[in-house]
């Protein structure tokens, strides 16, 4: 497989949850190897849904999906996809299910046919790379929210995927951990699509930011008029800018 | 969940999971078919010895046995009165029979004995290991899945329950005997079912994403060591003795 080939190609994907207006409407996406794409969009715009469609967890009502140059339709095809693409769920509680951290992280490698020793080694390495050395025997559902996030990421990294789909990886992380995540992401040798609402974070770890709205991907080069809201000293008190205060001189 | 104890160490923890499963199965069958009180009581004692050998905290063990015994208490209200036989006591128009009481007593002992070893098994083996060991024992895949996912989903339901109850508590909910309480509980149960099934589906999806294809693997290799063989032979001998005791009653 060539590194810079077309990894994910979506054509006219339509999807709607039963009894609701459609979430994705003729969505097109081309994602190339080596790319690091940031994905933004308002709450409920369908980012999570898009990821689940790529992984074959939801079936589009219309459209074509090609992964690594091959069309994928059935569950059987998606099984291969899941070996190459790792999804970090928005909610870490969905991702962790084994009693202990080590077992959970090793679950993926074991499924990929690694031996027990290999799987253990991969798991330990994945945990270490996230600064989670010593977490092996912790009980997964007794971790803090941020710890669960990181362990979830370790479970995905342990699959050694070519492409990562990261659904809001920074929620619940403190500043120091977020910085560590930035370093980790920068050091990784994988392509990824990253959903986040944090523009500064996205700027740091991605090469370009794409927006989702009205069920489609808005092209990067399009300029969208928008307003900023920013934090402001004395914002609590009504005041006008440019007005001269009595004690101001000049 | 009790499987949290599976990371500990004890004689029972170190036993090969396959041996454990086979022994628990044989033990349960033996207890289920036995009638003689001597046999049942010995089995009960044996069951508790095993649970203690697994270094189960007594409090935890008792905690797990309470629900079973609540159900049994319920049986005690019915069984003595529904059996034909020698009258033993009467409550109003209801007559409790000797046979009925004995039957209820047998069920109580049997359930507790079987539960004790089951708890020891689950508490000393991680659920994935257990699933893997069941494959190795050539138990049909479908049954193993049924077992694994039942176990998982009980856990999921429990977690969702804890979450919902805290959500209610932090908003000042205090149960009382009023419409608001009943309504809130009805919502709780409804939400519990919906959320658990959603969550279960998402967890299953997450498993699929990590290459789950219906096989459960364990991080530990199973190999029969001399310790396993000795334990197996010892337990089989014990059970054989109990079986002989039971059988000699009939002849
Ligand atoms: N299981 C479901 N059943 C029905 N509707 C759903 C379901 N999941 C999501 N939706 C709806 O589909 C739309 C898109 O949801 P999605 O989770 O993809 O949004 P999102 O872009 O990930 O939002 P957020 O930024 O809040 O995570 C929303 O309007 C949501 O209400
Ligand atoms: Mg989302």
Out of A27-41, B81-95, B127-141, the most confident range is A27-41
pLDDT band at B127 (very low <50, low <70, confident <90, very high): confident
pLDDT number for residue A240: 54
Q: Which of A42, A49, A165 to mutate to test the pocket of ligand 1 (most atoms within 8 A of CB)?
A: A49
Give chain B's mean pLDDT: 84
Dmax over CA atoms of chain B, in Å, equals: 67
Dihedral sign (CA B172, B173, B177, B182): positive
B108 or B132, greater pLDDT: B108
What mean pLDDT do residues B99-111 have?
A: 90
Q: Does pTM surpass 0.90?
A: no
Q: Which residues of B touch A93 (CB under 8 A)?
A: 159, 199
Give the closest of A55, A100, A120 to B209, CB-based: A55
Closest to A14 in 3D by CA, of A48, A67, A53: A53
Residue whose CA is at the smallest distance from ligand 1 atom 11? A44
What mean pLDDT do residues B90-104 have?
A: 84
CA dihedral angle for residue B28, residue B32, residue B35, residue B36, rounded to 10 degrees: 10
A14-37 tens-digit pLDDT: 999 998 899 999 999 999 988 999
**Alpha-carbon gap, residue B208 to A55, rounded angstroms:** 9
| Ligand 1 atom closest to A42 (CA) | 25
Residue in chain B nearest A96 by alpha carbon: B203
Question: DSSP characters for A63-126?
Answer: EEEEETTEE--SHHHHHHHHHHEEEE-SSHHHH--SSBHHHHHHHHHHHTT--HHHHHHHHHHH
3-class state of residue A229 by DSSP: coil
Every domain of chain B and the residues it spans: 17-125+221-248, 140-209
A46 CA distance to ligand 2 middle (Å): 7
CB distance A151 to A133 below 8 Å: no
Q: What percentage of chain A has pLDDT greater than the value 70?
A: 86
Residue A196, ligand 1, Cβ within 6 A: no
3-class state of residue B35 by DSSP: coil
Backbone dihedral angles phi then psi of residue B133, each to the nearest 5 degrees: -65, -35
ipTM, two decimals: 0.73
Lowest mean pLDDT among A24-28, A43-47, A213-217: A213-217
**Structure letter (DSSP) for residue B98:** H
Q: Nearest bound ligand to CA A25?
A: 1
Q: Which residues of A touch B212 (CB under 8 A)?
A: 107, 111
Residue in chain B nearest A120 by alpha carbon: B219
**Alpha-carbon gap, residue B57 to B70, rounded angstroms:** 21
DSSP element (H, E) containing A164: strand A163-167
Best A78, A96, A97, A152 member to test B by mutation, with max B CBs in 10 Å, is A97
**Alpha-carbon gap, residue B20 to A51, rounded angstroms:** 42
pLDDT number for residue A222: 46
**Alpha-carbon gap, residue A191 to A135, rounded angstroms:** 27
**Alpha-carbon gap, residue B206 to A96, rounded angstroms:** 8
Q: Which residues of A touch B3 (CB under 8 A)?
A: 99
Backbone dihedral angles phi then psi of residue A122, each to the nearest 5 degrees: -60, -45
B12-33 tens-digit pLDDT: 888 888 999 999 999 999 999 9
A67 or B129, greater pLDDT: A67
Q: Is the pLDDT of residue A9 over 80?
A: yes
Residue in chain B nearest A98 by alpha carbon: B128
pLDDT number for residue A118: 92
pLDDT band at A1 (very low <50, low <70, confident <90, very high): very low
Which residue stretches of chain B are H helix? 11-14, 17-33, 37-53, 58-82, 98-124, 127-136, 141-169, 179-209, 226-250
With an 8 Å Cβ cutoff, are A94 and B208 in contact? no
Q: Which residues of B touch A141 (CB under 8 A)?
A: 159
B57-72 tens-digit pLDDT: 888 888 888 988 999 9
A50 CA distance to ligand 1 middle (Å): 10
Residue ranges of domains in chain A, CATH in brackets: 6-221 (3.40.50.300)
pLDDT number for residue B188: 85
pLDDT band at A250 (very low <50, low <70, confident <90, very high): very low
């Amino acid at each position: 497989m060539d590194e810079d080939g077309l990894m994910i190609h979506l054509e006219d994907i339509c999807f709607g949850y039963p009894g609701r207006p459609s979430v994705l409407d003729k969505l097109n996406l081309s994602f190339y190897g080596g790319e690091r794409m940031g994905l933004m969009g308002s709450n409920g715009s369908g980012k999570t849904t898009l990821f689940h469609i790529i992984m074959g967890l939801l079936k589009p009502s219309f459209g074509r999906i090609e992964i690594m140059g091959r069309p994928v339709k059935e569950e059987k095809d998606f099984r291969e996809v899941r070996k190459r693409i790792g999804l970090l769920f928005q909610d870490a509680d969905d991702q962790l299910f084994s009693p202990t951290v080590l077992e959970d992280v090793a679950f993926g490698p074991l499924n990929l046919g690694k031996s027990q020793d290999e799987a253990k080694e991969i798991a330990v390495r994945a945990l270490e790379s996230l600064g989670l050395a010593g977490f092996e025997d912790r009980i997964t559902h007794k971790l803090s929210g941020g710890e669960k996030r990181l362990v979830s990421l370790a479970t995905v990294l342990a699959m050694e995927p070519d492409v990562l789909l990261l659904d809001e990886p920074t929620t619940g992380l403190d500043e120091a951990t977020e910085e560590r995540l930035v370093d980790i992401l920068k050091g990784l040798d994988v392509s990824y699509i990253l959903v986040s609402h944090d523009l500064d974070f996205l700027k740091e770890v991605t090469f370009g930011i794409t927006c989702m709205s009205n069920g489609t991907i808005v092209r990067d080069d399009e300029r969208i008029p928008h307003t900023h809201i920013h934090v402001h000293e004395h914002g609590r008190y009504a005041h006008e800018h440019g007005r001269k205060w009595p004690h101001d001189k000049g | 969940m009790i499987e949290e104890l599976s990371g500990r160490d004890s004689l029972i923890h170190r036993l090969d999971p396959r041996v454990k499963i086979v022994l628990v199965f044989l033990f349960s069958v033996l207890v289920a078919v036995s009638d003689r009180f001597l046999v049942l009581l010995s089995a009960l004692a044996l069951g508790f010895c095993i649970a203690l050998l697994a270094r189960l905290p007594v409090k935890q063990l008792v905690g797990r046995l309470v629900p079973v015994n609540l159900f049994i208490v319920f049986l005690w209200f019915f069984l003595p009165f529904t059996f034909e036989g020698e009258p033993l006591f009467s409550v109003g128009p209801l007559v409790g029979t000797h046979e009925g009481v004995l039957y209820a007593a047998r069920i109580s002992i049997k359930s507790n004995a079987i539960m004790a070893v089951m708890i020891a098994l689950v508490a000393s083996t991680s659920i994935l290991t257990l699933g893997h060991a069941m494959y190795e024992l050539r138990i049909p895949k479908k049954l193993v899945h049924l077992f694994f996912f039942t176990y998982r989903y009980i856990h999921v339901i429990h977690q969702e329950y804890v979450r919902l109850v805290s959500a209610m508590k932090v908003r000042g909910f205090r149960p009382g005997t009023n419409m608001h309480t009943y309504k809130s509980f009805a919502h709780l149960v409804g939400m519990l079912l919906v959320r658990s099934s959603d969550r279960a589906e998402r967890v299953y999806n997450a498993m699929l994403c990590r290459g789950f294809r219906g096989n459960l693997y364990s991080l530990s290799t199973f190999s029969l060591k001399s310790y396993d063989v000795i334990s197996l032979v010892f337990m089989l001998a014990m059970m054989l003795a109990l079986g002989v005791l039971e059988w000699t009653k009939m002849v």
